[in-house]
Structure 1
Amino acid sequence: PVNASAAEIEAALLSFVGEIEQVPSMYSALKHQGQPLYKLARQGIEVERKPRQVTIHAIRVLAVRDDEVDFEVDCSKGTYVRSLVEDLGAKLGCGGHVTVLHRISAGSYPTERMLTLDQLGELKENGGFEALDAVLLPESTAVGDWPQVQLTDNAAFYLLQGQAVMVAERPASGNVALFRASDQRFLGVGEVNDDGMIAPRRLVAN
């Protein structure tokens, strides 16, 4: 039984906001000696997992009903919500597990453009592959929050050969999304080196 009040549950949840050490759940796709942890867990086998540093940006409690809690969490890549719930249960002294888990956004992808498998199946059934193509987002959406760099045709040619190029208008450092200025084709992503040259990191195939 959960002997904590709604206020105590919320306070316990909010204590995880920030950078924390988290032990991945046994029900994860991480591998141990080549075997996914979730397969070992289904066999009743538990192995030691190394803790990882993750960031919980924000937690919002939506509802508390007896021994159930609904909440939203904004977290970094690599965070295991199942582990977060297990840690919450340990903090409250009652144990805890996930019953329902919904991903409502991922990175820079807009929530309103996300579709379920059932919705995709219905689209294909009614409109074929053309209907599926119509709802696909461009590759550049994945790095929509990165600084954009526009390349001349000449610079784009050499970049696509794997060479670093110099571009006048660019950030001083960090990752950038690369576009060919003449037709706004997304070329891929690169990184600004210490010498100011932009080196390709991942390019989109023709």
Structure 2
Amino acid sequence: LEQAIEAFRGEIKQIPSMYSALKHNGQALYKLARQGITVEREARDATIYSYEILAFRPGGKAELDVEISCSKGTYIRTLAEDLGKAVGCGAHVTRLHRTVAGPFREEESITLPQLEALREGKRGEDLDFLLKPLDAAVSDAIAVELTESMAWYFRQGQAVMSPEVYRQSEEGDIVRIFHTDGGFMGVGEVLDDGRVKPRRLVASAQ
């Protein structure tokens, strides 16, 4: 198993499962699969940063527990099926547990029972301390602060020039945009001339 898994570490290519949300001629693959229809799918790039065996239970229906760290867009079920083919016995996923998604980690989450216990005798706004900042999902992106005039043009959908972006970013990079008052405005995309165009803006309360 360890030898077979080694071939799936690093840069790999995967053919998406028919039971995926990818679309073919405007229709989701899983809908076609439910009709018994199979279509050709192009292989996609994926990166497996780590692929470790946690436990192996041999037997007529052997079970393998693994922990995987991978790039966005990796199909774990396809990874299991491909491993089964590699060892010549077939394989499928029986349980999938995500522990990390981008900057969010399981240990930082709050369960529903915990939330209900914290809510006891309190108002909804008393739980605001549990909320993540609006830009938490893109916290790894460069933060850019816009002046009042630049912010006005940016809100109108126009690209603006920022020295910070010009020095630190490349074309196509996503950056976090803040107003000089510290308010998060949204995310922008860096253009080839160093300007930043709006990608997604957050509605202002002003």
Q: What pairs with 1:187-198 in structure 2 (closer than 5 Å)?
A: 187-198=185-196
Cα separation, 2, equivalents of 1:199 and 1:120: 41
Deviation string for 1:132-184 (max 9, x for gaps)? 654332220111011111111221111111111122333242321111122x1
| 2:179 aligned partner | 180
Number of residue pairs matched?
A: 196
1:25 aligned onto 2:17: yes
After the TM superposition, list the runs of 4 or more consecutive aligned residues in structure 1 that deviate by more than 6 angstroms. Answer: none
In 2 relative to 1, CA 193–46 (structure 1 residues): closer, same or farther, beyond 3 Å?
closer
Cα separation, 2, equivalents of 1:38 and 1:123: 39
Match of 1:58 among 50, 54, 59: 50
Give 1:60 deviation, angstroms. 1.8
Cα separation, 1, equivalents of 2:192 and 2:19: 42
1:86 aligned onto 2:81: yes
Structure 1, unpaired ranges of 5+: 1-8
| 2:200 aligned partner | 202
What fraction of aligned residue pairs are identical, expressed as a percent?
A: 52
Match of 1:160 among 155, 161, 167: 155
Structure 2, unpaired ranges of 5+: none
Q: What pairs with 1:46-195 in structure 2 (closer than 5 Å)?
A: 46-66=38-58, 67-115=62-110, 118-119=112-113, 122=116, 126=120, 129-130=124-125, 133-170=128-165, 171-173=168-170, 174-182=173-181, 184-195=182-193
Deviation string for 1:38-89 (max 9, x for gaps)? 3444455444322211111221221111111111111111111000000000
Give 1:124 deviation, angstroms. 9.3
| Normalised TM-score (structure 2) | 0.82
